[in-house]
Structure 1
Amino acid sequence: MKLHLTGPSNTKLNDTITITGSKSESNRSLLLAALFPNITIENISNSDDAQLMAKGLKISEGTVDIHHAGTAMRFLTGYFSSQEGKDVVLTGSKRMTERPIEILVDALRTLGAEISYVQDEGYPPIKIKGQHIVKDKVSLPANVSSQYISSLLLIAPNLKNGLELELVGKITSVPYIKMTLGLLEEIGVETSFEGSLIKVFPKAKVLPTTLVVESDWSSASYFYGICALAEPGTEITLSAYKKESLQGDSVLADIYTIFGVETIFGENKVTLKKTDKKVLAQNELDLVNAPDIAQTIAVTCFGLGVGCHLIGLHTLKIKETDRLEALDVELSKLGANISVTNKSLTILPTTEINADVAIDTYNDHRMAMAFAPLAMKTTLIVNDAEVVSKSYPDFWNDLKQLDFSIKEL
C-alpha cells in the first residue's frame, strides 16, 4: 500500500487521540501470564507483534513463525528453553534470520538450555527442546539489546532457583530492564538490581493479578513530532498515559521541551502543547536509553530546519532494518545534510524540504510513522505503509482524525 500524505490545512491542531497499549509492556505481560495463568491483562496492544507473541505462546511443538517480531523472537527463545516438554523450531522473516541471537542462546545454554541452529550459526531459525533449568548464574555483555536481558529475567521466577544475572560493561537501555523488573514486582516476584548484578528470586505461584498495560510511549512520539512542527497553541491530548511510567520512551516529555512542546499530565492522559519557545540551531542528545525514538527526533529536527547530533544509537543497526543507514538514505532524498556512523547521527540545519518524495519503509514500522509528521511541512509519499500494523495498526486513521489528507495511490 502506497499513501500520499498532505498535512492539515489548519496547522494549529486541537484533538484527542486514544493510543493502544504498549507493545513492550504487552509482550512482557503475555509471557508472564503464560507462566502464571491467574494473571489477566487489560488494554493489551492490538499490534501485530503482540498478536504473534500471544499466538506463539500457545504452541507446544512444531514451527513457531514470528515474522518480523524481534521482541517475540528474543522472549520466546527464553520461554521455550525453560518449558520442559516443549519442542519447537523458532523462525521468522528473512530479516529476522539476519538478526543475531547468539548472545542470548549462549547465555541460555550456560543455564542448561538445549538449543541448536537450523541454518546459520548465531542466527534464527533455532531448534529448542525445553528443559527443567536448575542453574541460576549467568553473565551477559551489558551493551547488547535489552531484550536479551529481559528474556532471561522474565523466565527467572519460573526457574527452580531463580536467576543471578551479571551485566559486564556499560549497560544499555536501563529503562527497559527496569520495566521488566517493575512488572515482576507487580505480580509479587522479589528482585534486586544493584550495580551490575540483577537477582530474580523463584516464585512457584502468584496471587490473582490484573496487569493494566499503559498506552505506548513510542507511538506517542509521532504526535510529539506533529506537535513540534505545528503552530504555537496546538494541543493534542493522548490517552491512556501516566506520569510514573515503566516505559523508557516516556523521556519524550523531557526531550521535546527543547523543540517547544510542553507535556501536561492529567488523569490517565497527557496533553502536548506547542509553545513559541525558540529552538536551538544545533541539538545534542544521548539516546542510549531510548533508541526507538531516534528516528522521530531526527525527522523532527529536519522538519524544524535545525540540526542535531544523536549518540547512543548502536542498537539501531540490528533492528527491523539498519535504521541509521535507512535514515541516511531517506532524509537525504528529502534534502537533508546528514551523516551517520555505527552509533551516531548528525544533521546540519537546512530550510529546504523536497516535495512528493517517496519514503521507503524497509519493513520497519518506525520508518513509516517517524516520517509521517513531515506532511506538516511538505507533501510526501510513504511506500508499504501497511507496515505500521506491526506496532500501531490505527496510525493512519488517527492522522486522518487530525485532518491529514491521506490518499492511497
Structure 2
Amino acid sequence: MSEPHADLQARSPWSRLGGVEAVRLFPPGEPVAAALAVPGSKSVTNRAIILAGLAAGASELAGILKSDDAWWALQALRDLGLEVEVEGETARIGGGGGRWPVGEAELYVGAAGTLGRFLPPALAAAEEGRYLVRASRRMSQRPIAPLVDALRSLGARVEYAGEEGRFPLLVSGGGLEGGPVTIPGSVSSQFTSGVLLAAPYARRPVTVRVAGGMVQPAYVQITIAMMRAFGAAVEADDDLAEIRVTPGGYRGRRLTLEADASSAAYFFALAAASGGEVAVTNIGSATLQPDLGFVHVLERMGAKVELAPNRTVVRGPERLRGGFSVSLRAMSDQTPTLAALAVMADGPVTITDVAHVRHHESDRIAAMAAELGRLGIRADEHPDGLTVWPGRPRPARLDPHDDHRIAMSLALLALAAPGLEIANPGTTSKTFPDYWDFLKRLGFGVETL
C-alpha cells in the first residue's frame, strides 16, 4: 500500500478494503434521498464492553458497532480470560466481577482512544495481575499522562514501559484506594470517563474533580448514564465539576445500544450539500450523543431539520449558506465534516474551539487544511480551528492521514469533484467499516483501485 500513514497493525478481522489502495468516487445523478439506519455507537459500544467485563455475571449487548475499535476491546477481554461470544451485532460477555482470570497478559488497544483510556483503569482496579498494554503507532503518540497521574493518585500501580507519558503501559493489580482526584478536562473527556468506569471497584468512595473546564462533557454524561445502568451509584454536579462514585461494582445486564450520531452526520451532510433529503431512522433527540447537534449547524447553512426521539430528517437547501463562525467544541468530531461542507457553501466558514482535535487519530486541523489545499481550496489554519473558503475543487487523490473521520469527510466532496479519490479507504474500519457500501446505496459510484 502506497499511502504513507497507514498503520495496518491496528486493523482487525472486522476491517474492510484492507488490500485496496484507493477508491474513486462519483456522485449520484440527483440529490441524495434515502431513509437508512446507521450502525451502533462507537462511544456507547466500547463503554458497554468494558462495563460488561468488569460486571459480576453475564451481559448481553445488542446493537454493537462491529469496528476495529470494538474488536480490540472484545479481544482484550478474551485475552484476560473472560468468555466472549459475538453473534451478528450481539455480544455476550461473562463478566469477571472486578477480577481478571488471566493474571498476566500482553494487551493491545489498537488505535482506539476510548479503549486506551478505559482499559488501564479497569486493570488497575483489580487486586491482582500484571499487564502490558500496547497501542498503535498513532495512539502511542497521543497523550496518556493525565490518566496515569490520576490513577497513581488513587493508589494504582502504573508505569511507563517506554517513553514517559506514552504507551506502552505496565499496569499492576493492587486495586484503587479511592478518595479525591483532580483531572484536567481540556485535552480529552476520556480521561475522566476512564477513571469513573473503574471507580466502583475502589476501596472507598472516589470524588473526581475536573480542572479547567471539560472538553465534550456530554460524553461523561453518557459514561455516568451507562454506569448507572450497570448498577453503580454515581452523583454529579450539573456542570460535572465534581462527580462522586460509591464503591459497589457492577452487575451484568441485557442492553440494547443506540446508533452512532457521529456516523449519521455524514448522511445529514450529504442531504444538505446535494439539496436532497435523508432520514436516519434510529437516532434522534432522545440521545445524549453531542454530535446530533450538528444538524443545528446544518440549519444555519439553510437546511430544514425534523427531530423526533428516535428519528432525524434533514432536507437540503438549493445552496449551502456560509459566512459565519461556529464553535464545535461540543461536537469536535464534526470538524472535518463541516470543513468539507464549507467548500460547497456561498461564503467562508470558520470553525473554532477545537484545538484538541490536533491530538486525535491525526492532527485534524492540519490534515484537512492540507488535503483541501490539494483540491485547490483555500483553508487557513488557526491554533484552535480553521477557516475554509468556498471554491471549485479539482479531482485529486487525497490522503486521509489514516484517520477515519478525515476519509469519510473528504468523500463528501465527490459531490463537487466527480472522480475524487480517497487513498487508504480501509481506515474507516476504525468506526464504520461499511461506509463505502452505504455510499453505494445512496447512488454513489465507488470504484476500488
Normalized against structure 2, the TM-score is what?
Answer: 0.86
- 2:301 matched residue in structure 1: 259
27, 46, 55: which one aligns with 1:27: 46
Distance 1:204 1:381, change over 3 A: closer
Q: Which runs of 4+ in 1 moved over 3 A?
A: 265-268, 278-281
Bigger CA drift: 186-195 or 161-170? 186-195
Task: Render the CA deviation track for 1:175-228: whole Å, top value 9, x for unaligned.
Answer: 11111112122333232222421112222453x532221110111111122112
For residue 157 of structure 1, report the CA deviation from its aligned partner.
Answer: 1.8
Aligned match of 2:64: 44
Select between 279-288 and 105-114 the one with higher mean Cα deviation.
279-288
Residue aligning to 1:249: 291
Cα offset for 1:142? 2.1
| Alignment length (residue pairs) | 402
Determine whether 1:273 maps to 2:293: no
Asked whether the 8 Å contact 2:272–2:314 carries over to 1, the reply is no
**Alignment pair present for 1:13 and 2:58:** no
Task: For residues 7-66 of structure 1, give each alpha carbon's deviation from its aligned partner in whole angstroms, at most 9, with x where no partner exists.
Answer: 0012x2322222110000100111111111343211111111011111112323321122
- Alignment partner of 1:201 is 2:246: yes
The answer on 1:333 being equivalent to 2:366 is no
Pairing 1:90-101 to 2, within 5 Å after superposition: 90-101=133-144
Which residue identity is paired with 1:297? L
User: Which of 291, 296, 303 is 2:337 aligned to?
Assistant: 296
Distance (Å, rounded) in 2 between the aligned partners of 1:4 and 1:152: 43
What residue in structure 2 maps to residue 359 of structure 1?
Answer: 398
State how 1:137-156 maps to structure 2 within 5 Å: 137-156=180-199
* Maintained 8 Å contact 1:317/1:342: no
| Structure 1 SS opposite 2:446 | strand
State the one-letter code of the partner of 1:262.
K
Compared CA separation, residues 210 and 275, structure 1 to 2 (3 A):
farther
Report the counterpart of residue 228 of structure 2 in structure 1: 185
Structure 1 counterpart of 2:75? 55
- 2:16 matched residue in structure 1: none
Secondary structure in structure 2 of the residue aligned to 1:271: strand
Measure the CA separation in 2 of the matches of 1:279 and 1:268.
26
Alignment pair present for 1:342 and 2:387: no
1:227-254 deviation line (CA, Å, top 9, x unaligned)? 12112xx221223213121211111222
Distance 2:125 2:268 in 1: 40
| Aligned equivalent of 2:177, options 134, 142, 152 | 134
After superposing the two structures, state which structure 1 stretch, 287-296 or 29-38, moved more.
Answer: 29-38
Q: Distance in 2 between matches of 1:369 and 1:170?
A: 30
Could you tell me which residue of structure 1 aligns to residue 448 of structure 2?
408
CA distance in 1, matches of 2:209, 2:249: 23
Distance in 2 (CA, whole Å) between partners of 1:239 and 1:86 is 44
Is residue 389 of structure 1 aligned with residue 429 of structure 2? yes
Query: How far is 1:408 from its partner?
Result: 1.0
Unaligned 5+ residue runs, structure 1? none
Retained in 2: the 8 A contact 1:32–1:39?
no
SS, match of residue 191 in structure 1: strand
Structure 1 CA distance, aligned partners of 2:279 and 2:134?
39
**Other-structure match for 2:272:** 228
| Partner of residue 72 from structure 1, selected from 98, 115, 128 | 115
Separation in 2, partners of 1:102, 1:351: 42
How far did residue 137 of structure 1 move? 1.3
**Superposition RMSD in Å:** 1.7
> Would the aligned equivalents of 1:57 and 1:76 in 2 still touch at CA under 8 Å?
no
Q: Which amino acid letter does the alignment assign opposite residue 32 of structure 2?
A: L
Query: For 1:140-168, what per-residue CA distance to the aligned partner results, in whole angstroms no more than 9, with x for missing partners?
Result: 11212011110011111222323100111
- Cα distance in structure 2, aligned partners of 1:73 and 1:133: 18
Q: Give the distance between the partners of 2:223 and 2:441, measured in 1 at CA.
A: 34
